[in-house]
Chains A and B, each alone.
Chain A
Amino acid sequence: MSIPGSWYLVLAAVLFSIGAIGLLVRRNVLVMFMCIELMLNAANLTFVTFSRVLHDIGGQAAVFFVLVVAAAEVVIGLGIVVAIFRRRTNTTADDLHSLKG
């Protein structure tokens, strides 16, 4: 509680950037998904921090909804991943480039 809000924000920012770098650099689809989760968590942390600092319960309600949506998103995303990669022998994102212009 006594930790200044900005520390949390910096931590969240660093977490977000690590997640972003992971998304851009890794080729394994599932790991990319996990990096997305990291980024979502960073956002959640930010929300909660602001909720505490500004004494507003709305921040926590936002986290609530973010969690729900993240869950739904993971369900669908993994369903798609399964549907695509069921019969392939590799799961890199680079193999899905048939929409190349």
Chain B
Amino acid sequence: MSPAMLATSITIPDLITFIVAGAFVLGGAIGVVTSRNSVHAALSLVLTLFGVAVLFVAQHADFLAAVQVIVYAGAIVVLFLFVIMFLGVDRQEDIESEPLRGQRPLALVLIAIALGSLIALFVNANWVTGARSATGSTAGGGHTNVYLLGKSVFTTYLFAFEATAALLVIAVVGAVVLARRPSGGLLDEPDAEAESDEEPAPEAGSDAVSADDELEPDGDPATRQEVPR
């Protein structure tokens, strides 16, 4: 560890925060990986995401922490839960057996190698402390984190921003196409709904909501439709 990192000593509240958040993160992760029931897995994921959000706050990434909770925990996990419900919530997966030969041992070995190497890298790494970033610091200068982040997104990374906006539109269209019924029958209804809801929302926060809306007419488990193959 570089001496620069130990410039300020570790305070107790920070340490406790880190440990608790870390426990949430790892606990949730292990829960996801080892749950037999998919719903339990989803809820463990939520735990992990909250933990990560706390860690974001601890690192002064306030906006991102909020967005993490709203988008990830609030929309994506909800989406997951919807799909779990749609596809059979009571399906249990058989964790014990492994039909593919060598999959588990090989996976463990490889990931162990990767993890070990990564940790070794971090231990031996020298932090680059060269030129200051052109994009500006994370804090200071009297501006809030939101201000700084917004400024960088809307100026320096504007092109990427517009691209991701287009990406979201495509994702919405894709979701509609993927999930709809084959031609004939209730063709008009979902199209009309699709049209009305298909407004490109530039903000990341509302996207998950619109995606959810698209899924609703077809996501109803009561109406069993022909699966377009």
Contact = CB atoms under 8 A, between A and B. Distances in A.
Q: Do chains A and B touch in the complex (CB under 8 A)?
A: yes
A60 B64 contact: yes
Given A57-B137, A58-B135, A74 B164 contact: no
B27 to A, nearest CB: 10
Contact of B9 (A2, A10, A56): A2
Interface in B15-35: 15, 18, 22, 25-26, 29-30, 32-33, 35
Given A20-B114, A71-B204, A91-B91, A30 B25 contact: no
Counting chain A residues whose Cβ lies within 8 A of the other chain, the interface size class is 35 or more
A31 B93 contact: yes
Contacts of A100: none
Contact of A11 (B22, B153, B204): B22
A52 B38 contact: no
Contacts of A19: 29, 32-33
A25 B103 contact: yes
B38 A31 contact: yes
B222 interface: no
Interface in A56-101: 56-58, 60-61, 63-65, 67-76, 78-83, 85-87, 89-92, 94
Nearest to A94: B99
A20 B72 CA distance: 19
Contacts of A55: 132-133, 137-138
B211 A75 contact: yes
Contacts of B174: 75-76, 79
B79 to A, nearest CB: 6
B54 to A, nearest CB: 11
B195 interface: no
A13 B197 CA distance: 39
Interface string B142-157: 0001001100110011
B137 A56 contact: yes
Contacts of B123: 6
B149 A6 contact: no
B32 A74 contact: no
A49 B52 CA distance: 12
Contacts of A74: 76, 79-80
Max count, chain A CB within 10 A of own CB: residue among B115, B156, B174? B115
Interface of A: 1-11, 13-22, 24-28, 30-31, 33-35, 37-38, 41, 44-45, 48-49, 51-58, 60-61, 63-65, 67-76, 78-83, 85-87, 89-92, 94
Given A25-B104, A34-B80, 9 more contacts: A1-B8, A6-B123, A45-B52, A54-B128, A57-B149, A58-B135, A65-B160, A74-B80, A83-B228
Q: Which 10 A-B residue pairs are closest in the complex by CB-CB distance?
A: A22-B33, A56-B133, A79-B178, A72-B171, A24-B107, A18-B29, A4-B5, A55-B137, A17-B115, A79-B175
